[in-house]
Amino acid sequence: MQEYWELYMKQIDGNPASVLFNAGISMEKEEQQYSYPIIAFVKVKLKEPNERGMLSESEEPEISYLEDKLEASLIKFRIGKYVGRIISDRYVTFLYYLQFTYNWQDFLAFALGEFESYEISSGYQDDAQWGYYQNLLYPNPKEWQIIQNHKVCDAMRAKEDNLHLPRAIEHKLFFTESEAERDALIEKLQKEGFRVQNEIENEEGIKGLSFYRIDKPFYHDIDDLTLTLIDLLEAHGASYDGWETSIVKS
């Protein structure tokens, strides 16, 4: 199994949630789901959550240690795969897919013996289709876009870019169906202040367009912009394919 983890924020039941999940396992999901058909959880109530119900800096070391103990127990008993963690509404929930459950209690006893001061619940159920992974942990297209946005912003900041300075930001789209709404889409983009540059084509021969506008690439600005573009393009039979821009230092 490939280990490739991603961290992102979303809303769960109206509360902010921090989701850490193993994205690498999605590449092998069809193979893994037959061997690990049971979803299991360990849910820990935070002692000192911050005002948003999230993990505070003061409690982070202890929760990290608890997570490490769970990982060590998972290796010791070879019970399954750790696939994700959710922090939301004063709780941390660790999620696993199991091969079997006969030594589940042994796994818990070994991992959690040092944490009697915490309120902890646990359980498991069948999930042969990996619905919890796909629907709870795995990002939807907009959440994936935000993950990619922030990676680019982090890389730009590492190069001392001033993300608050406006500059030309180039975007790409590809038509998901036919190009029937191409002209209508171009007109809409132009009304929104974008300039269409070139026709493009991907390796599969699917046609698309590149277009740009002067904007700020700061985190929440680029998030708002790209999520708006996703909706606009989907309404006209196209899909968004990311953005790029130049480094601008103050």
Q: How confident is the model at residue 59 (pLDDT cuts 50, 70, 90)?
A: very high
Is the same domain home to 80 and 124? yes
* Residue 52 tokens, joined: 């948003």
Asked whether the predicted pLDDT for residue 2 surpasses 70, the reply is: no
Residue 99 counted as domain residue: yes
pTM of the model: 0.85
Per residue in 119-158, pLDDT tens?
A: 999 999 999 999 999 999 999 999 999 999 999 999 999 9
DSSP class of residue 36 equals -
The answer to whether the beta carbons of residues 244 and 170 sit under 8 Å apart is yes
Half-sphere exposure of 208 (CA within 13 A, CB side): 21
Per the DSSP assignment, residues forming a β-bridge with 240 are 173
Is the same domain home to 16 and 123? yes
CATH of the domain at 180: 3.30.70.970
Task: Report the amino acid identity of residue 54.
Answer: M
pLDDT for the residue 42: 98
Is the same domain home to 187 and 133? no
